Amino acid sequence: MSLKRTELTQNPLQKIWVPWMSSKLSRRRGSSVPQFTNSPTMIVMVGLPARGKTYISKKLTRYLNWIGVPTKVFNVGQYRRDACRTYKNYEFFRPDNEEAMKIRKACALAALKDVATYFTQEQGQVAVFDATNTTRDRREVILSFAKENGYKVFFIESICDDPEIIAENIKQVKLSSPDYIDCDKEEAVADFLKRIECYKVTYVPLDDDKDSHLSYIKIFNVGSRYLVNRVQDHIQSRIVYYLMNIHVTPRTIYLCRHGESDLNLLGRIGGDSGLSQRGSQFASALGKYIKSQSIPDLKVWTSHMKRTIQTAEGLGVPYEQWKALNEIDAGVCEELTYEEIQANYPEEFALRDQDKYRYRYPKGESYEDLVQRLEPVIMELERQENVLVVCHQAVMRCLLAYFLDKSAEELPYLKCPLHTVLKLTPVAYGCKVESVFLNIEAVNTHRDRPAVSGWDRVTESS
C-alpha cells in the first residue's frame, strides 16, 4: 500500500539580496546607485598578455563558486574572437589600428552589458572581467559603469618580468589558443611576443599614489610578492587570502577513501568503526602503490576517525590528522542503514533526496556545511605540493568538486568508490584526473540521484 504523494519542500535561503534588484530606484541621469554592503562585486584583471590573468580568473571563479558565491568569468578575448572570426597577426593589437580599436572597445562594452545582465537576472554576486585593462581610460570606463550600477570594484594586477615564466605561460596556454590553430609554433610565439610589445606601448600599471583610492592587489612574478590596497569587505578579503595561498609549482594531489570498514559491510552510514579484513588489505596495497610512485616530500593527511588512521598506518610514513576531514555528521541517522532511515524518518529521507546538497541531517550536517568546514583544508592543499588525503565519501566529494569545478547539484553524486585512488594533477586551466583501482574488492556505497523523490519512494530505489 503506497502512501499518498505529498510535495515536500525545503527551500534554500535566498542568501543574496540586493535591494535594487527588486525595485527600480529613481535617480537623476549620471547619478550612481547607492552601494550596499552586499552589492555585487566586479573583479577586474589588469596586466600584459601571458601574465596568468585567465589562470587567476578561472581558479578564483572556481573557488568562489565552491564556497557558495555565484561567480562568472567574462573573457573579453572571447568576445573579440566571436566578433572577428579570423585572426591574422599581432597588428590587430597595434594602438594606432583605429578600426581594431573600435572593435576591441565594442567587445569590452558588450561584456560589461552581459555583466549587468548576470547581476540583475541571474542572481550573480561576483563577475570576473578578464581582459588586459592596461590603460587608465579603459579602467575609467569600467569604474564609471560600476558606479552607475552600484557595483564594487576590485582590481587584480598581475606583474611579471621573469622571461622564463612568460615563455612557459606562452608555451602552456597561448599556443593552444584559437588564434593559433594550424600555426607553426615558432611563428605563433614570435607573433605573440609582438602582440605583447603592442600592449606595452600604452600599458599604465596601477599607481600606488594616483590610484590609492581604489581597491586592488598586485601580484608580482606569480606570487613572489604582493601589494594589497584598500580591501573593502569580507568577499574581497577572502579573495586576497586565497590569491596569497595559491602557487603554480607542479605537484600531484592523491585522494582516496579509507579502506572498507565493518559498518560499510553492514550498509550503515557514519559511525567510527575499524577496517574490515578487505579494508586492511587495501591499507597494505595503498602503501605499496604510494611507495611505487616515488613521490618527493609527500605529506599524508587523515581525519580523526579510526578507519582513516588505520588505513594510513599501512603506509609506514608519518601522517597528520585533521578533524576538519571527519565524515559528514549524519546526526540522528548515524549508524543506520538507508532502509532504516526511510522507515524511521520518512520525511527526512524524502527531503534529502529533494536537495541533497543543502539538506541537513537532524542534529547533523549538510554537504553545504561540510564545504565550509573543508575550506581551511583546501587553502592548505593550495599551499602544499604533493599530498595524499585519506578521507571519507562525502568529504572526498567536496574536495573533488573543488578541483573539478563541479556544481552544488553535481557534488553529492560524484562517484568516489572504496579502494580507489584518484590522482589529481593541476594543468593550465583545470585538473587532470587518473583513477587507480588497487584490485581489492569492496562494497559499493554509492547512491545514484533518485529519479523520483517524495513519500512514495521505495526502498529498492535507494
Q: Exactly one of 157, 179, 260, 327 is catalytic; which is it?
A: 327
334 annotated active-site: no
The residue from 107, 157, 160, 355 that is catalytic is 160
Q: Of these residues, 191, 198, 258, 392, which one is catalytic? A: 258
What burial class does residue 368 get, using C-beta atoms within 10 Å of its C-beta: 0-12 exposed, 13-18 middle, 19+ buried? buried
User: What is the rounded radius of gyration, in angstroms, for the C-alpha atoms of the chain?
Assistant: 25
Distance CA 178, CA 304 (A): 48
> How far is residue 158 from each of residues 127, 146, 169, 275, measured CA to CA in Å?
18, 21, 13, 49
Please confirm, yes or no, whether 122 is among the known catalytic residues.
no
C-alpha cell belonging to residue 16: 543574496
d(CA 43, CA 302): 36
**Residue listed under C-alpha cell 590603460:** 135
392 is catalytic: no
- C-alpha 92/C-alpha 101 separation (Å) is 8
Catalytic residue status for 327: yes
Gap between the Cα atoms of 99 and 181, Å rounded:
24
**Bridge partners of 156?**
45, 217
Which string of DSSP letters, residue by residue, matches 364-397?
Answer: S--HHHHHHHHHHHHHHHHH-SSEEEEE-HHHHH
Whether 79 and 110 have beta carbons less than 8 Å apart is answered as yes
Going from the C-alpha of 228 to that of each of 72, 153, 160, 355, 428, the distances in angstroms are 23, 14, 16, 39, 26
* Catalytic residue ranges: 130, 160, 258, 327
